[in-house]
Amino acid sequence: RRAPLLAPSLLAADFGNLQAETERLAGSAADWLHCDVMDGRFVPNISFGIPVLQAIHRHAKQPLDVHLMIEEPQHYLSAFRDAGAQNITVHYEACTHLHRVIQQIKALGCNAGVALNPHTPVWVLEDVAADLDLVCIMSVNPGFGGQAFIPNTLRKVTALKELLVDSGSDALIEIDGGVTRDNASALVEAGADVLVAGSFVFNSPDPVATLAELRAQLMA
Ligand code: DX5
Ligand code: ZN
């Protein structure tokens, strides 16, 4: 099995010091930097958008894993690519023409991801699974950091793993929301390839040490 990737979410970082926050992660165990874009429409919160992503990209050493919690993402894909996104993840629930959006992301040279809200079953991805680079299972309702992990997520990881194998898809399984040292090992055991963690990392006394500990825990 591949070693799981760690993707700290900058949503929980100090927005007044994004350069310092991004730079201190440069030598850390972070594999990707997870960037949460919220539009106040798809989710009941507004975070940051294209210019801020561009600023993060100027100081980042790791690939930017961009999670679009926005309606009509098709209008902004090339702008996010130009701002430095390597992975662009759109929500299943926000895309009437999901197949087209996935092809558009790939045509831009980015990795294509689809995120599923907690109520959305994994089987809705059956007919696009082979085209995907990443599936993000939301383990909280999107919109806010610091929420409690929804335990049913573990079952979804198992079901998704099965679906990806059956579809011949090598998409990575990413878990987003409420990830801590207490559920990380079980998630990886169930088949998770990428763990996003916001408040667990940034609300700890030493985010870089917390990432190193998490990495060590998952290697053991
Ligand atoms: C939730 C975001 C998550 C969030 C995770 O809407 O998509 O990426 O930042 O934060 P924690 O780890 O605090 O749940
Ligand atoms: Zn996210």
- Whether 195 contacts 165, CB under 8 Å: no
What average pLDDT does the chain have?
98
Q: How far is the CA of 89 from the centre of ligand 2 (A)?
A: 9
Pick the residue whose CA is nearest to atom 6 on ligand 1.
142
- What is the value of ipTM here, to two decimals? 0.99
Beta bridge partners of 203: none
Ligand 2 center from residue 219 Cα (angstroms): 24
Q: Which residues surround ligand 2, an ion (CB under 5 A)?
A: 36, 67, 176
End-to-end C-alpha distance for the chain, whole angstroms: 13
User: Which among 69, 72, 59, 58 has a CA at the least distance from the CA of 11?
Assistant: 69
Residue 136 near residue 174 (C-beta atoms within 8 A):
yes
Q: How far is CA 86 from CA 94, 98, 208, in A?
A: 20, 19, 22
Question: What is the 143 CA–ligand 1 centroid distance (Å)?
Answer: 8
Instruction: Tell me the CA–centroid distance for residue 192 and ligand 2, in Å.
Output: 15
What is the Cα–Cα distance from 3 to 54, expressed in whole angstroms?
A: 29
The pLDDT tens digits of the residues spanning 127-186 come to 999 999 999 999 999 999 999 999 999 999 999 999 999 999 999 999 999 999 999 999
pLDDT for the residue numbered 217: 97
Specify the pLDDT at position 220. 83
Mean pLDDT of 15-31: 97
CB 114 within 8 A of CB 90: yes
Compute the distance between CA of residue 137 and CA of residue 134 in angstroms, rounded to an integer: 10
Q: Where in the sequence numbering do the catalytic residues fall?
A: 36, 176
Q: What angle do CA 201, 59, 205 make, to 5 degrees?
A: 20
Ligand-binding annotation for 145, yes or no, is: yes
**Which residue range(s) make up the domain with 162?**
5-219
The percentage of residues in the chain with a pLDDT greater than 90, rounded to a whole number, is 98
Q: Which two tokens stand for residue 103?
A: 């092809």
Residue 65 pLDDT level (bands cut at 50, 70, 90)? very high
Question: What is the SS3 assignment for 146?
Answer: coil
Nearest ligand, measured from the Cα of 140: 1
Question: Of 15, 33, 35, 36, which is best to mutate to test ligand 1, by the most ligand atoms within 8 angstroms of its C-beta?
Answer: 36
Residue 176 is labelled as binding a ligand: yes
Among the bound ligands, the one closest to the CA of 42:
1
In the chain, how many domains are there?
Answer: 1
Q: How confident is the model at residue 191 (pLDDT cuts 50, 70, 90)?
A: very high
pLDDT score recorded for residue 2: 65
pLDDT at 21: 98
Mean pLDDT of 48-71: 98
The two tokens of residue 73 are 């993402």
pLDDT at 1 exceeding the cut of 60: no
CATH code assigned at 44? 3.20.20.70
The response to whether residue 146 sits with its C-beta less than 6 Å from ligand 1 reads: yes
Read off the pLDDT of residues 85-112 as tens digits, 9 standing for 90 and up: 999 999 999 999 999 999 999 999 999 9
Rounded Cα distance between 186 and 89, Å, is 24
Q: Is residue 14 packed enough to be buried (19+ CB in 10 Å), middle (13-18) or exposed (0-12)? A: exposed
Sequence-distant (≥ 6) Cβ neighbours of residue 180 within 8 angstroms = 149, 197, 200
| CA 130 and chain centroid, separation | 19
Q: How many residues does the chain have?
A: 220
Helix axes 153-167, 181-190, angle to 10 degrees: 30
Question: Hey, which of 181, 196, 200, 210 would you mutate to test ligand 1's pocket, going by the most ligand atoms within 8 Å of its Cβ?
Answer: 196
Looking at residue 95, its amino acid is: C
